[in-house]
Amino acid sequence: MSEIELVCTEFGPALELLKGAGFRLDVIYPADDPHTALLSRNGEAVRLTSNPGESPPAELPPFEPRFVLSRAGGEAGEGRAGMLYRDLIPKRLGGRYIASHISIPEGGPVADWVHYHRIQFQMIYVRRGWVKVVYEGQGEPFVMQSGDMVLQPPEIRHRVLENSAGLEVVEIGCPALHATLADHDMSLPNGIADPQRDFSGQQFLRHQAAATPWTAFAGGEAQESGMEDATGGLAQARTIHAPQGNLSFPGHGGELVFAFVLDGTARLDFEGKHELGPADSFVIPADVPWSIADASADFRMLHVTTERSIGKSA
């Protein structure tokens, strides 16, 4: 199949024009602000792009640690399937990680399709509302509620089906720039659930907050997710709250240290004192201790870390 490249100035309208002409979407990237797509029609292939100089990396970019503090209320742009994306790590830690606060204001069916991602790590956490999803080899569609999360292993096929009005999720991925590929041949659901299935060394994880107890962590309490086992030790993810108002974190010996304030207020003590509110987020460089103080009674925080072995072969 021969391929031609079309360079455009306005990506969205050009993409809709090609789809209206009978081309099917095969690949699109990046998800949060698409600028490139591969489409096909009857033996024809088109690469549409408004940014011909940027493509997903063949290898993970070198990690560049830095302190990042992102405030709520930042501008959100329209991404894939009409979802609104707010960038939580603008400089991407050297291109290694992307974190997005994603929202869908209107409820109802989602204009999504069966697809997969070429990634090393990707997780979704529901902050507000609910979303109905379906995954390859994981049985019937299910609903994720506030506090639930999933690990999407590399190249697992999946689809977002429906959501409540005001849905909000936090998504974290590695590398930051990665492709979303359509699977036109697979229909979901596609059979009995196989929770032990291996996807490039990882297993699908569905964490349900309502069924998870709180246990002691960092001077407060946490709902652990099972992310460490599902990723083969590459990552951990948990929801934290601080009944006594304070949390203390030693330096993390891995790579990413990311936190998102789900509810409430607190103060982050790291390189000064930073007041935190709902939907604020931050990244702490590895190997450096930090703490949370004066947390309100309703304070909740998503806490995610990864190891230096991410992206390395076993």
**pLDDT-based confidence at 130, cuts 50/70/90?**
very high
In the block, tokens 């602000």 appear at: 33
Tell me the per-residue pLDDT of 3-30, one tens digit each, with 9 for 90 and over. 899 999 999 999 999 999 999 999 999 9
Phi and psi of 66, rounded to 5°? -165, 160
| Sheet hosting strand 149-151, strand order edge to edge | 77-78, 84-87, 98-104, 167-174, 121-128, 149-151, 205-207
**Domains of the chain by start residue, with CATH:** 3-49 (3.30.720), 73-207 (2.60.120.10), 210-306 (2.60.120.10)
Tell me the per-residue pLDDT of 57-69, one tens digit each, with 9 for 90 and over. 999 999 999 999 9
Query: Structure pTM?
Result: 0.95
Residue 56 has pLDDT above 50, yes or no: yes
Tell me the per-residue pLDDT of 241-294, one tens digit each, with 9 for 90 and over. 999 999 999 999 999 999 999 999 999 999 999 999 999 999 999 999 999 999
CA–CA distance, 101 with 233 (Å, rounded to integer) = 25
Residue 309 has pLDDT above 80, yes or no: yes
- If 0-12 CB within 10 Å is exposed, 13-18 middle and 19+ buried, where does residue 279 land? buried
- pLDDT for the residue 314: 42
Radius of gyration of the chain (CA): 20
CA–CA distance, 112 with 241 (Å, rounded to integer) = 34
Tell me the per-residue pLDDT of 156-190, one tens digit each, with 9 for 90 and over. 999 999 999 999 999 999 999 999 999 999 999 99
CA 105 to chain centre: 18
Beta bridge partners of 11: none
CB-CB contact of 45 with 6 (8 Å): no
Residue 17 DSSP code: H
Residue 144, C-beta contacts closer than 8 angstroms, at least 6 positions apart = 124, 126, 130, 131, 132, 133, 150, 206
Residue 149 has pLDDT above 60, yes or no: yes
